[in-house]
Amino acid sequence: MPDPARDAQPARDWRNADAPGDLRRYLLAGLAYIALGLVAKEVLAWWSYGMVFLLLAVWGLPAWRERLRRRARR
């Protein structure tokens, strides 16, 4: 049986969302997506492209950059 009370509480870290600079990250992602859309119009045709792009821009790439930085410090 699913437990709604437990399901409503994600187990992963909540604290890292909306850090300072997030708005800037979204704005830059938006500008980049518009520029990309003007060059390759296909990306404007599917919602899923927008989601993948935004996930990469605000989570994937910053997380990857952070990991590289940490590795360089070691």
Partner 1 sequence: MSWAAHDFETYVLQRHLQGRVSYLGILAGTYAPDALTKWYVYGVDKGPIEFGAQDPARFHRGWPGAGFTHSLLFCVLVAGVAYVASRRNKAWGYGMLVGALAHVLTDTNDTLGVMLFFPLSTEHVSTGMWAYAAGIGRYDDAGAYYSCLGLVMDTFWLAVALCYRRVLSVDYFRSVVVPVDPAWGWLGRRLPEVAMLAIYRTSFFYGTTRLIAWTVWAHVLHDYSWDLSWGGPDWVPAVHD
Binding-site ranges for partner 1 (CB under 8 A):
2, 4, 6-18, 26, 29-30, 33-34, 37-38, 41, 44-45, 47, 50-51, 54-55, 58-59
Pick 47 or 74: Cβ nearer partner 1: 47
Do the Cβ atoms of 49 and 43 come closer than 8 Å? Answer: yes
**Cα-Cα-Cα-Cα dihedral sign, residues 36, 39, 40, 41:** positive
Pick 15 or 74: Cβ nearer partner 1: 15
CB of 67 to partner 1, least distance (A): 13
Do the Cβ atoms of 26 and 58 come closer than 8 Å? Answer: yes
As a whole number of Å, the CA-based R_g of the chain is 16
Pick 22 or 68: Cβ nearer partner 1: 22
